[in-house]
Structure 1
Amino acid sequence: EELLNLVNEIDRAKERGIPVFELLLQSLLNTISALLLGTRYPLGDPKCKYLAKLAGDFIEGIHCAPIIQFKPQWLCRVEARLPFTRTGAMRRCRLAMIDFIGNQIKEHEDTIEADVTRDFIDAFLKKVEKHRLDPNSAFQVCHLVGNTVELIFSSSSNLPVMIHWLLLVCAQNPERVQARIQKEVDDVVGRDRQPTWEDRKVMPFTMASVLEITRWKVTEPMGMPRGVQEDTSVGEYLIPKGTAVVANVMGVHRNPELWENPDLYDPERFLTADGSELLKKPDHYIAFSLGKRICPAENLANIEMFLYLATILQKFSVFPDDGAQLPDLGCLSTSWRHPSVTKLRFVRRR
């Protein structure tokens, strides 16, 4: 349903340039909002825009300058109180989101029904009631607020960026990438029914395009820090307990010893020689980190990227906003990998 709403919103632009990231962020937030809050907002609705701004500003703050995150805790606390610092801005975003979610929870508490579970908040509140006599229970309303805020922020961090990159690549490569995806969509899905996740099994180039964008444009170049729980030996090196370990995802994904022409976007590196099947992902593909602490949202992210890409290209062809060839696809940020090109045109396929 949310994808159909997105298609309708793109139609309303009447082939004018659209700020792609903002539209994708609102659409994806609606998906998670329906699951968590039981509510979706029309794209462009003031509440939808408000949530998107809070999420976008918070995530941009996290990823803008990762090196200076390694500061004494007392300095972080001081910065959070200053209105002109990025830490202060992030704190305001978080507090505003906490206030918004708190109001949603109060509304749910007033309208909850014993035999109906409308969404995540309802399910959690019922667990709170079930365990209310247990002082050590993890099911507390304060935890519900924190969990809901984290789920909203995390779901809106990377997905809209990656789908934005995919659409930019299609606009820059109309024959090499866009036309091939559209042919797969036409052959497998047609123009009438909506693409499904099951279709991926016979749409290898589309899936390869999704995998390649996560290799080529890494949204977390250095991954998330992890702590070593005990003294560990790796080769000739001893890593003491308590050491922070960060995976150099970008270094692996751009290593010419592991990938041929690693700086080029090439979906065929994930395909068999004749392009008919998707290859097993190599061990050096670590877009979602590696080991036991791999990102738990990997499958959901791939599903969303595939469905958004297939649905949009089923209905539209994508072009640069000014009709000219796109410049080199650079980034505004060295960490979040946010595209510098913000607008694209979508023309209905005939």
Structure 2
Amino acid sequence: MEWDDLRLCACFVIVLVILALKFRLRKSTRGLQELPRLPSLPFIGSLLSLRSAHPPHVLFKKLQEKYGQTYSLMMGSHKVVIVNQYSHAKEVLLKKGKIFAGRPRTVTTDVLTRDGKDIAFGDYSATWKFHRKLVHGALHMFGQGSTTIEKIICTQAQSLCSIMSEKAATETSVDVSPDLTRVVTNVICSLCFNSTYPIGDPEFEAILLYSQGIVDTVAKDSLVDIFPWLKVFPNADLRLLKQCVSTRDKLLLKKYEEHKAQYCDNLQRDLIDALLRAKHSAENNNTAGMSSEALGLSDDHILMTVGDIFGAGVETTITVLRWAIIYLIYHPEVQKRIQEEMDSKLGRERTPLLSDRGSLPYLEATIREVLRIRPVSPLLIPHVALQDTSLGNFQVRKGTRVIVNLWSLHYDEKEWKHPELFDPGRFLNSDGTGVTNPSSSYMPFGAGVRVCLGEALAKMELFIFLSWILQRFTFSTPPGQPPPLLEGKFGVVLQPAKYKVTVTPRSS
């Protein structure tokens, strides 16, 4: 056979293979429907349909009435699927968690994470999986369970109670946010840096400023994230974000260089020491000869991991504590029942411990209800489909962004009885002696491979801080002032508006 004939046969085989693959793809997607879609215009996509006085999570829930529980829209050139129901959310997060494990690259998150070198916003890859495994190992090495972490949180809870006692003696209305922020931040500083900050410390004040700046500017689907070319024009939010990230990175780098200079295999004071040990261990056991960068162990990765711990462990916890106090003010009967439960199980003298969680089911149920009715992140960080797939009977193409609307899941009337009402009892068993989960649609920290890195830490902090302060104080609206607002400020977390409370010490 001539050489030209052989080449012709080879081309013929290749064409047959391609046709077979296309046929298999068509067969696999046969019968799937296109998602309902909001009206879309060239270049701007569905932006005109998204103009609303409602924040995005509320608007997306309302749009279900017209487009169904799961629908799509265009954000500029990007196709986005909005998931408002549990069955499809379960597919995205759990059943097909790895298929939907991608993350979109945006201008603001790239600035925040040095082009995706963190865990929360980093794209799904072998490096990302190794990186997350490393962090879990480092947290375990540092924490050795939760005993060490519990001691750190209890120390800050004691500090919080002392400050509240002083303010209760001299002030009729107190803004509790700065004190909550300081103690929660000090927990993370203890974990990461083995150091804490006193009131008024300049470095601590810098942390507060950059943290708030990041919350106000990142991952909000701003125009620069939808149309990246806009970054060449003056942008106040982007400029603020870069300033805040620069301040954060200078602090993190300073702490990191100190730890590298003092590193010793037998010394493990905090999370950075644990990460450095894990890095050295991985490099020493690296039989494939891969670089630290390839392993996901570069200095940038470690710095961004510590930045993630700050983001996951500070803003989430502070926000939930502030919402919890608001709902306790609106529902004094709930506050009283928690206090009576603690009085009967612990008394007034012994301070609560993590081991008491099983003995205080009503407090645990209240924390869960706060996380349901005011989810910290009502729109989970967007996922990206890494291959052609489906959601129920709907077709989803590779590269499609998927947003799980946690707000809709937590307010679904098919899953929750009177979801607009604050009712901790919905999380109690029939006789009120234990905590239960009445709906699988409850997932305040997400689920699956992309579950929030700070979930376990946040739950520990919420229990200890709330139990300590409610054992000692009662919160109420200051005389002559309106109660705090229940509408939140949308961002990477759903923050309540500023408010003040009356803090009344409980009698012995």
> Aligned partners of 1:90 and 1:146: how far apart in 2?
15
Alignment equivalent of 1:217, drawn from 374, 387, 406:
374
1 CA distance for matches of 2:492 and 2:215?
11
Runs of at least 4 residues off by over 6 Å: none
Alpha-carbon offset, residue 167 of structure 1:
1.0
Moved more, 328-337 or 235-244: 328-337
Q: 1:323 to 1:267 in 2, by over 3 A?
A: farther
Could you list the per-position Cα deviations for residues 147-191 of structure 1 after superposition, in whole angstroms to 9, with x for gaps in the alignment? 2222212322221011111111112222x2110111111112222
Give the equivalent residue in structure 2 for 1:140.
Answer: 298
Q: Does the 8 Å CA contact 1:66/1:335 hold for their aligned counterparts?
A: no
Residues 189 and 338 of structure 1: CA distance in aligned 2, closer, same or farther (over 3 Å): same
Do residues 46 (structure 1) and 195 (structure 2) align? no
Displacement after TM superposition at 1:292 (Å): 3.7
Q: 2:478 maps to which residue?
A: 321
Could you tell me how far apart the structure 2 residues matched to 1:167 and 1:235 are? 40
TM superposition score normalised by structure 1: 0.90
TM superposition shift of 1:141: 2.3
SS at match of 1:233: strand
How far residue 335 of structure 1 moved from its aligned partner, in angstroms, is 6.6
- Equivalent residue number for residue 328 of structure 2: 170
* Alignment of 1:31 onto 2:31: no
> Does the aligned pair in 2 maintain the 1:171–1:320 contact within 8 Å?
yes
Q: Bigger CA drift: 187-196 or 8-17?
A: 8-17
Residues 30 and 48 in structure 1, CA contact (< 8 A), matched pair in contact too: no
Residue aligned with 1:7, SS: helix
What is the aligned counterpart of 1:72 among 223, 227, 246? 227
Supply the AA of the counterpart residue of 1:10. Answer: M
SS at match of 1:347: strand
1:125/1:141 contact within 8 Å kept: no
- Cα distance in 1 between the residues matched to 2:445 and 2:402: 15
Q: Is the 8 A contact 2:484 2:499 kept in 1?
A: no
Distance 2:309 2:295 in 1: 20
Spell out the pairing of 1:234-313 with structure 2 (5 A cutoff). 234-313=391-470
Residue in structure 1 matched with residue 168 of structure 2 by the alignment: 14
Letter of the structure 2 residue corresponding to residue 11 of structure 1: S
Cα deviation code 1:303-329 (max 9, x no counterpart): 211111111101111122346562552
Task: Give the aligned length.
Answer: 344
SS at match of 1:238: strand
* In 2, Cα distance between equivalents of 1:35 and 1:310: 21
The one-character-per-residue Cα deviations of 1:14-67 (angstroms, maximum 9, x if unpaired) are 34233222221221111011111111112443322221221122112236x446
Cα distance in 2, alignment partners of residues 327 and 2 from structure 1: 26
Query: Which position in structure 1 is the counterpart of 2:245?
Result: 94
Amino acid in the other structure paired with 1:294: V
Change (3 A) 1:155 1:38: same
Q: Does 1:116 align with 2:267?
A: yes
Contact 2:192 2:270 in 1 (8 A): yes
For residues 216 and 68 of structure 1, the distance between their equivalents in structure 2, rounded to whole angstroms, comes to: 29
Unaligned runs of 5+ in 2: 1-154
Q: 3-state SS of the aligned residue for 1:277?
A: coil
1:255–1:128: structure 2 CA closer, same or farther, 3 Å change rule?
A: closer
Cα 1:179–1:324 shift into 2, 3 Å: farther
For the 8 Å contact 1:24–1:160, the answer to whether it is kept is yes
Question: What residue identity is the alignment partner of 2:312?
Answer: S
1:209-236 superposed Cα distances (whole Å, 9 cap, x missing partner): 0000011012222211111122222222
State the alpha-carbon separation in 2 of the partners of residues 314 and 69 from structure 1.
47
Look up the equivalent residue of 1:110 and give its one-letter code: A
Change (3 A) 1:320 1:69: farther
SS in 2 for 1:195: coil
Gaps of 5+ in 1: none
Whether the aligned pair in 2 keeps the contact of 1:34 and 1:119 (CA below 8 Å) is yes
Matched residue type, 1:172: Y
SS of match in other structure, 2:240: helix
TM-score by length of 2: 0.63
Provide the secondary structure at the position in 2 that maps to 1:222.
Answer: coil
Identical-pair percentage? 25
The one-letter code of the counterpart of 1:125 is L
Native 8 Å contact 2:326 2:484 kept in 1? no
SS state of the match for residue 464, structure 2?
Answer: helix
8 A contact 1:21–1:161 mirrored in 2: no
Counterpart of 2:440 in 1: which secondary structure? coil
